[in-house]
Structure 1
Amino acid sequence: MAHQDPDPVRRAYARGAFWKERVDMAQWWADYLDRLKAGGEVVPLKRKAE
């Protein structure tokens, strides 16, 4: 990606900087998808008038 640090060592350390937050976010998303699959509330989206 264009916004990556060009230094591979710094890039490796940066990957772990927010590991807990990344894991929490991934778990939240997986739980959300499971709720949808189990028949959770689905909110219809309105289309824009053309």
Structure 2
Amino acid sequence: MKSIEHTLKSVAGVGEASMDLATGIASVVGVVEADHLVEALQRAGFPAAVIG
């Protein structure tokens, strides 16, 4: 099973990705559209939404 961080890092433009399991919030460093991150996570079977 892919991890959330691995899935996010596979998206073009992502330099770094981290997941805080306590809060359920992932953070990404890079130049990428938020929609691309959500789509990648959802394809991998993870629920995802843009916040903030």
How would you bin the TM-score normalised by the shorter chain?
Answer: under 0.3
Q: Which has the higher contact order (CA 8 A, sep 6+)?
A: 2
If each structure's strand is expressed as a fraction of its own residues, which one has the higher value? 2
Structure (1 or 2) with the larger CA radius of gyration: 1
Normalised to the residue count of structure 1, the TM-score between the two structures is 0.27
If each structure's helix is expressed as a fraction of its own residues, which one has the higher value? 1
